[in-house]
Amino acid sequence: MKLRYNYRLYPDAPQRESLARLFGCVRAVWNDALARRKAAWKADRARISGPRLQQLCITAAKRTPERNWLAQVSPVPLQQSLRDLDVAYGNFFDSVSGKRKGPKMGLPVFKSRRDHRQSARFTTTAFKLRPGRAGDALYLAKIGEIEVRWSRELPAPPSSVTVIKDPAGRYFASFVVDVPDDSQTLPRSDAETGIDLGLTHYAVTSNGEKIVNPKWLRRRERKLKKLQRALARKQKGSANRTKARIKVARQHAKAGDARRDFLHQVSTAIVRENQAVAVEGLAVRGLARGRLAKSVNDVSWGTFLRLLEDKAARHGRTFITVDRWYPSSQLCPCCGYKIGKLGLDVRAWDCPSCGEHHDRDIAAALNILAEGIRLKTLNDLNDVNGLNDTRSVHDVAAGLADTRNDCEGQVRPGKAIPTLAPPETSTAQAA
């Protein structure tokens, strides 16, 4: 399993100048190679091989007056830039053919010196970790030793490192390490949870826990407005405009850092405490085009769900996605009565069938958990029997087993579904 670990870098002034030169060389090689590939395809639909591109855009280019400055930097990041271009083309063709799932990938585009995020990747032949007085320093070929803030130890020797400069002017080292697949498996837990995501509360779990939405960007809106107005008054291309842009970028970076830290902490806690996690599938892109676009983008539901899924797979947990059309907020978790569509202003309701009073979000989380367990159990049964069950999700009882009926009322019609973590087979819950 490949994992990525990021650390803050603190290069001095000469090193920042060398990194700027390196980023420019990487960009130039990418653009030269892309231009050659486009020209070859337009001329006779020919494809230039990777070794041929390397010979043309790096080896031979260094001997020309127009590109002799490529020799001032390590050749490894330049070669990795060509590899990235080849991967980008491969992703495009796989996307067009249907081999690659997910959103359609576009053709590679030219890079600009005005791109505020820049990066260069080094493999093991071009970087080393050297002991120093303040911990190991990162040595990069033709740049030197750069101070690293080691927030945690690397679990294994890194196979590559990507040096990144973000729009706020900060530098980071992103290491890739290989770890055994089972090295991070957690002890089995008896707990399971369903999660209902929202804007008032970031997440509500089936055990009644409500996680407050921190509203990272909203809290910085007043300061951002002031800084963006100052940026708009600066003359384009001036040094003062660059300074003003960096101030705006730093505010966005602070919001992004706080958001990322929150998402990691919450997702890690949920995965550690629960053997099974059920969530509702969301069309985040569609929601981000509506009137709540700013709030939807601020909460980063897509990133949160991806973190949950990745960490569940890494730690030996079960991750279940319930269909987004499943009426989780319209069903009574006790008896299965469907009350119908509710307005967003309705935060609680009483079931006309069993009389139970429900918090809308908690009831939705309970229904998501029940449906997730039903889907997982049905999938396990089909795997055992070699069947391909195409029935609707409503053809089988969506409730939990009798002993897990929180309202102590009638379970939904159908056969009760066992839980994913039987007590007799589970071990102590992970800390």
Which residues are known catalytic residues? 196, 280, 361
* Residue owning tokens 């291309």: 237
Return d(Cα 264, Cα 272) in angstroms, integer: 12
Taken in order 149, 150, 152, 158, the sign of the CA dihedral is: positive
Q: Are 308 and 279 in contact (CB under 8 A)?
A: yes
Contacts of 93 (CB under 8 A, 6+ apart): none
Return d(Cα 212, Cα 227) in angstroms, integer: 28
Return d(Cα 369, Cα 279) in angstroms, integer: 8
User: Which residue type, as a one-letter code, is found at position 372?
Assistant: G
User: Alpha carbon of 397 to those of 267, 274, 284, 286, 333: distances in Å?
Assistant: 29, 23, 29, 30, 12
Return d(Cα 7, Cα 171) in angstroms, integer: 9
* Residues 275-302: b if buried by 16+ CB within 10 A, e if exposed: bbbbbbebebeebeeeeeeebbebbbbe
Return d(Cα 177, Cα 170) in angstroms, integer: 23
Beta bridge partners of 194: 278
* Residues 370-381: b if buried by 16+ CB within 10 A, e if exposed: bbbbbbbbbeee
Q: Are 119 and 23 in contact (CB under 8 A)?
A: yes
Q: Are 421 and 276 in contact (CB under 8 A)?
A: yes
Task: Report the alpha-carbon angle 384-389-390, nearest 5.
Answer: 165
User: Alpha carbon of 208 to those of 201, 280, 360, 361, 421: distances in Å?
Assistant: 12, 17, 11, 9, 20
Pairing outcome for strands 348-350 and 357-359: antiparallel
Task: Report the alpha-carbon angle 265-267-271, nearest 5.
Answer: 120
